[in-house]
Structure 1
Amino acid sequence: MRRRRINSRSGETIVEVMVSVLIFLMLMAVLQGAIMFCNSAQKKSRQIRQDTAEICEKLQSATAEGNGSANFDFYATSADESVIGDNVFSISAPKQKKTVSYGAAGETSSTIFYMYGGTAP
């Protein structure tokens, strides 16, 4: 009677399995980094939107300071702006300043907005 020999070369070796697991773990690490980056970008975007909404709200309710004026001069120029010609016209516009303070508890910032045109409220 003949003995059948089992082919010991079939299947995967432990080295192949370890390499596959290592590649899988490296891909998972990259994916986790991408997800963390997206989360932090989303939080920053949300904070910027909140700050912008607060600034806009306070800007609308802020009172204007000063009743100065600013002159805007318009000159004729060449297409590449290398030659500046004569003054074509000038406009005098009222200038006002509004200061807005905003921020979370403990951290406040202030921004100055200069507005031109219109009448002073």
Structure 2
Amino acid sequence: MALRTALLLDAVREALTADPICGGRITAETMTFIETTIAGSADRRAATSAARQATEAAAEFLRFADEGPATSRFPFEWDPVEKLVEATRTAATIERAHMDAITAEVERDAEGIAKLDRLIAACSAFLEGWA
């Protein structure tokens, strides 16, 4: 869970505990619901960001297809590969987080989890050179 989401959850928990009406009567189920809602909205924001990055990369590919190279030395005006790798890492991170949430009732896909972990690590290593 991202630090920002964790801090938000802590703030919500403290506010609910301090509230004179709710104080001390917040059930574990209520907190689980709140955590799921907050984490879910963070995932949706991340997915929107990934979609924008992938769309920008696709637009640059289409520009290249229509107009040709951006300069005599570079095919693209900016690097669409970086945007696609970031979008891929974000999508894999969201999927990985949801795989962690699978209950014991469902068989966990250990091989799928390991593949996602490797993909996230490879994307992160690639992007470190761009920072």
Q: Considering the TM-score relative to the shorter chain, is it more than 0.5?
A: no
> TM-score, normalised on structure 2?
0.34
- Could you say which structure has the larger radius of gyration? 1
Instruction: Give TM-score scaled by structure 1 length.
Output: 0.37
Structure number with higher helix proportion: 2
Q: Greater strand percent: which structure?
A: 1
